[in-house]
Structure 1
Amino acid sequence: MNILIKSAKIIDPSNEELHSKKRDVLIKNGIIVAISPKIEEEKGTKVVQAKNLHLSNGWFDSGIAFGEPGFEERETIANGLLTAAKGGFTDIVLNPNTHPVPDTSSDIVFLRNRANGHACNLYPLGTLTMNGSGKDLAELYDMKNAGAVGFYDFKHPVENANLLKIGLQYTQNFGGLVFSFPLDTSIYHKGVANEGAISTKLGLRGIPAMAEELQVARDLFILEYTGGKLHIPTISTANSVKLIAEGKKKGLDVSCSVAIHNLFYTDNVLEEFDTRYKVLPPLRTKSDTKALIRAVKDGTIDFVTTDHTPMDVEQKRVEFDNAAYGTIGIENSFGILNQLFDLDTTISLLTNGRERFGLLSPELKEGKNACLTLFNSAEEYVFNDEHINSTSKNSMFLGSMLKGKALGIICNDQCII
């Protein structure tokens, strides 16, 4: 396929030669063959042009859930990857939120095979423990060889400290990345919202910030003892930021992420008991949100994730206490981040992070594979149902004013616009 992108403003802060310049980009058979102020259209070439067209390296998300196998009613791999592509993502890390969970090499091969032929690339995580039960380590080495980019019992903490210790020690032999969800279940005790004035007022069981911070402190202490590579997904409190910053100063090989919704919303939105806002970790306070945004800017938080978690309507349209955790977020990530940060920072956040998972970052250069995201940086609109491509519709961002919209991607010799 031959594709000509016309007059796109390139956003690539790492590329001084092209950053903020308007260029035509010619792609032939998936390879960037020319980047120039003006390229003449050739017969049989697909021309891509749009108002306020912007272009960057392809976007990456370190934590997305779909459903297949087992929960196809939430999201299939095929529709999930199409949704990600329309949302601007060329590469996603798939959380092990399925039934059964991927805890063997054959499970990882199945997921990779299901993703073959799509414009958006899928990189699966395997579970850290067998069946995700937290009792015995899974086939980590075999899963790594099959293509797993990390090991995570999705949204379940590693309660057994010795198990985390052994996991960190064992994975050093092959450079494996261990995830540890930051939640002390003895303090969490089936909470449903941030413990504070709002949860007390509404009569909701609280999840103290301490439940997250104790687990972070414990995990960092174990990491300091064992070595290895640790990733702490979706932190949500100011003190978690401080603990991780201290760990990094000690030279620990630790990374962390934050969910976009924990940067944008606080627990004040729970006043109407709307289950769209029930997520784990929960929405916290304004002071936490400010600390998280500062940490993103100074690099303490390594990357931002949509934490996209589709749930069927039966699990959301129930009482708040009984509702499932999770919100979708692929379709609106750019429009949220573009309000919180300047454009260069937003694009850096959306393109960084691959190296942590052992993946190569795309390059916007002639002779390189085209792995590009197209977007409009200025369009303002109210996010509603018509903007959702996911099978599930459990978005807490419905009704929000967004600034900026992803138009699609060019990747794997495919154009999804």
Structure 2
Amino acid sequence: MNLIFKNAVIVDPSSAYHKQTVDIEVQNGIISKIGKELSAPDFENIELDNLHVSQGWFDSSVSFGEPGHEDRETIANGLDVAAKSGFTDVAVQPSGAPVADKQADIFFLLSKSAHTATKIHPIGALTKGSEGKDIAELFDMKNAGAIAFGDYQKALQDANLLKIALQYVQDFNGLVIALAQDDKIKGKGVVHEGEVSTRLGLKGIPALAEELQVARNLYLLEYTGGKLHIPTISTARSVQLIREAKAKGLNVTCSVAVHNLLFTDEVLADFDSNYKLLPPLRPEDERKALVDGVMDGTIDVITSDHNPLDVEVKKLEFDLAKDGTIGLETAFGALNTILPLDVVIEKLTAARSVFGLQSVSIQEGAAASFTLFNPDGNSTFTESDVLSKSKNSAFFGQSLKGKAYGIYNNGKLVLNAK
């Protein structure tokens, strides 16, 4: 497939063409030429309104139903959703049934994206069955292609087990992902503990439940060495603890979910279970602290934390509904309403650095791997805009700015027709 992307504004600080409007010629999956008013016989011109091009976006936390819950989402459709939402790469959580906790499970996930535009990067379970009792086959999964190890939506309550994991993975430069949540303090809480939970009569989750675990995990990291990633933090104190740990030289990274940057617990007034999330939505002061953490670089990555769930587990009484929202379709448009464009692109591409993968600059001779988008224009997200099989979105009715057109990656062009 030979293409010329016409009048594209390149948004890539590593490229000599950063912020320039150019044509990009792609031949056999390689950027063959960048310049003005390019033309070539047998090349298809791709012309899109206000086209911008950046390095391919990488989502650090995506769940698909398959294997085991194909009714929620299949891998094939999930990867198509990711591509049309602007993501060339997704780190897939080990949350299928069975849990991806051994070499064969990693091979299965990789095989599903061997010929797709969006590439899967599997996260292997840290413990067998993600049950928090015994370390899984980490070395074998690393050799099979796992980029990190963590138990999705489950925090490791056994401090010694996390200590052992952090020590063990250093032999092969592995990365441990550790969700921060003290289950005893969380108890039966379902929303942030505070004024809103009291007003609504819902059991609260203290911010302390997250912050104690962040502090504990950082102490363990300081003792053991190694690499630790703390996903989807949600409180001001968590940001500060990680900021201090980085200043001390600890090898720690962290992410925040789009919805925790955008919403506060005030949206819970109607008991809409689409807003039942883990970690929960917090008050405005916590949300602002997360935005500040993004802006000053304490928070390395922004993730959609995309988690498709069917009506049987989501459209229930608030207390009983499962935590999670889809987010691939809305990630860019939502972030673009609250952050500068250059920060949005930086945080949507930073996962490569976190996972130790190579970035691909937009320059002549490089592999063509980039996201196509328009940063301008406003829209309101509705159910008709959902591409996922599941419809559990916290973003219905939300104003979005800009649009992801799609991607070019792995020799394939995928565009969102909506």
- Compute the TM-score of the two structures, normalised by the length of structure 2: 0.98
Residue among 341, 347, 350 paired with 2:348: 350
Residue among 166, 171, 185 paired with 1:187: 185
Alignment correspondent of 2:28: 29
d(CA) in 1 for partners of 2:300, 2:345: 14
Alignment correspondent of 1:53: 51
d(CA) in 1 for partners of 2:157, 2:106: 25
2:14 maps to a residue whose letter is: S
d(CA) in 2 for partners of 1:278, 1:234: 15
d(CA) in 2 for partners of 1:54, 1:248: 33
Alignment correspondent of 1:272: 270
d(CA) in 2 for partners of 1:317, 1:9: 42
1:196 equivalent to 2:194? Answer yes
- Does structure 1 conserve the Cα–Cα contact (< 8 Å) formed by 2:265 and 2:283? yes
d(CA) in 1 for partners of 2:140, 2:221: 23
d(CA) in 1 for partners of 2:96, 2:75: 11
- Does structure 1 conserve the Cα–Cα contact (< 8 Å) formed by 2:5 and 2:24? yes
Per-residue CA deviation, residues 134-191 of structure 1 (Å, 9 max, x unaligned), is 0010000000000000001111011000000000000000011001110000100021
Q: Identity over aligned residues, as a percent?
A: 53
SS of match in other structure, 1:173: helix
Alignment correspondent of 2:113: 115
d(CA) in 1 for partners of 2:255, 2:354: 12
SS of match in other structure, 2:58: strand
Task: Report 1:377-388 matches (<5 A).
Answer: 377-388=375-386
- Does structure 2 conserve the Cα–Cα contact (< 8 Å) formed by 1:31 and 1:369? yes
Alignment correspondent of 2:301: 303
- Compute the TM-score of the two structures, normalised by the length of structure 1: 0.98
Cα drift, residue 13 of structure 1: 2.6
SS of match in other structure, 1:374: strand
d(CA) in 2 for partners of 1:97, 1:392: 16
Alignment correspondent of 1:12: 12
1:22 maps to a residue whose letter is: T
Alignment correspondent of 1:225: 223
Cα drift, residue 70 of structure 1: 0.5
SS of match in other structure, 1:110: helix
Residue among 255, 265, 283 paired with 2:281: 283
Alignment correspondent of 1:95: 93
d(CA) in 1 for partners of 2:72, 2:306: 11
Task: Report 1:7-406 matches (<5 A).
Answer: 7-15=7-15, 17-43=16-42, 45-406=43-404
d(CA) in 2 for partners of 1:190, 1:67: 26
- Does structure 2 conserve the Cα–Cα contact (< 8 Å) formed by 1:262 and 1:289? yes
Alignment correspondent of 1:3: 3
Runs (5+) with no aligned partner, structure 2:
none
- Does structure 2 conserve the Cα–Cα contact (< 8 Å) formed by 1:58 and 1:371? yes
d(CA) in 2 for partners of 1:384, 1:95: 26
d(CA) in 2 for partners of 1:319, 1:131: 28
Cα drift, residue 93 of structure 1: 0.4
- Does structure 2 conserve the Cα–Cα contact (< 8 Å) formed by 1:13 and 1:348? no
- Does structure 2 conserve the Cα–Cα contact (< 8 Å) formed by 1:96 and 1:153? yes
Cα drift, residue 67 of structure 1: 1.1
2:26 maps to a residue whose letter is: I
SS of match in other structure, 2:37: coil
SS of match in other structure, 2:362: coil
- Does structure 1 conserve the Cα–Cα contact (< 8 Å) formed by 2:239 and 2:289? yes
SS of match in other structure, 1:106: helix
1:412 maps to a residue whose letter is: N
2:333 maps to a residue whose letter is: G
Cα drift, residue 299 of structure 1: 0.6
Structure 1 segments (4+ residues) deviating >6 Å: none
Count matched residues: 415
Cα drift, residue 393 of structure 1: 0.8
- Does structure 1 conserve the Cα–Cα contact (< 8 Å) formed by 2:12 and 2:361? no
Cα drift, residue 310 of structure 1: 0.5
d(CA) in 2 for partners of 1:174, 1:168: 11
1:398 maps to a residue whose letter is: F
1:252 maps to a residue whose letter is: L
d(CA) in 2 for partners of 1:355, 1:266: 29
d(CA) in 2 for partners of 1:244, 1:205: 28
d(CA) in 2 for partners of 1:356, 1:381: 32
- Does structure 1 conserve the Cα–Cα contact (< 8 Å) formed by 2:14 and 2:361? no
SS of match in other structure, 2:124: coil
SS of match in other structure, 1:304: strand
d(CA) in 2 for partners of 1:276, 1:340: 21
